[in-house]
Amino acid sequence: MLTFVPMLGRLYIIVFTLVLITFGLSTTQAQSRKTLARQSLYKGDTILSVDLRPVYVYKPLKFKNKRQQQSYSRLVRNVKKTLPIAKEIKGIIIQTALTLDTIPTERERKKYINYMEKHLKETYTPRMKKLTFSQGKLLIKLVDRECNQTSYQLVKSFMGSFKAGFYQTFAALFGASLKKEYDPDNIEDDAITERVIILVENGQL
């Protein structure tokens, strides 16, 4: 499998780039989770009120063996590495859909997309090459979670059915699928992933 790593890296770069250039490029800023303090006046007294973020409590996981525990720890690491990328895609889609709407002509839109394609390859190639096989597969699912569209659907919307089918076939050679959907309600692995995501986002992992 090690001999396939460079090819897998290219696959993830292709998918990530196509997803992004579908909508262009924009920078997004994550909202910081600051504790909000307010003062209010009640019967002549000043009262300080503080909004605290929720704390999620789950039933402790029971691992059958050390291998299963190690698998969970690996999932936590993978989520921490790939979730920010998936969120970047979501933010870019939201922000740059508005940007493209301001470009008056199709020629200018294509010029903008071509520029973005070059920029994205230069920016994200080093990051995508560092993804492992399992991280790449997880990213595909997290794209669906964040964007409510599979990577296959996003590629198809830009490149068409033929190219989407080509990249899907290429991914299948390595046991991956651009059509993978995220379904924590019905898939046990996704349910555990969702639990990890919630705890990571809330700073509890």
- HSE (CB half, 13 Å, CA atoms) of 28? 20
SS3 of residue 49 by DSSP: strand
Mean pLDDT of 103-132: 77
Q: Quick one: what percent of the chain has pLDDT higher than 70?
A: 66
Query: 16: buried, middle or exposed (CB in 10 Å: 19+, 13-18, 0-12)?
Result: buried
Q: Kindly report the average pLDDT of the chain as a whole number.
A: 75
Query: Can you give the pLDDT at residue 25?
Result: 36
Query: Can you give the pLDDT at residue 134?
Result: 86
Among residues 138, 145, 168, 131, the alpha carbon closest in space to that of 18 is found at 168
- Helix H or strand E segment including 188: helix 188-201
Decide if pLDDT at 66 tops 80: yes
Q: Which of 65-79, 82-96, 102-116, 154-168 has the lowest mean pLDDT?
A: 154-168
Max mean pLDDT range (35-44, 134-143, 162-171)? 134-143
Max mean pLDDT range (43-47, 175-179, 189-193)? 189-193
SS3 of residue 181 by DSSP: coil
The model's confidence at residue 3, banded by pLDDT at 50, 70 and 90, is very low
Mean pLDDT of 54-65: 85
SS3 of residue 47 by DSSP: strand
Decide if pLDDT at 36 tops 60: no
User: Is the full-model pTM beyond 0.85?
Assistant: no
Query: Can you give the pLDDT at residue 85?
Result: 86
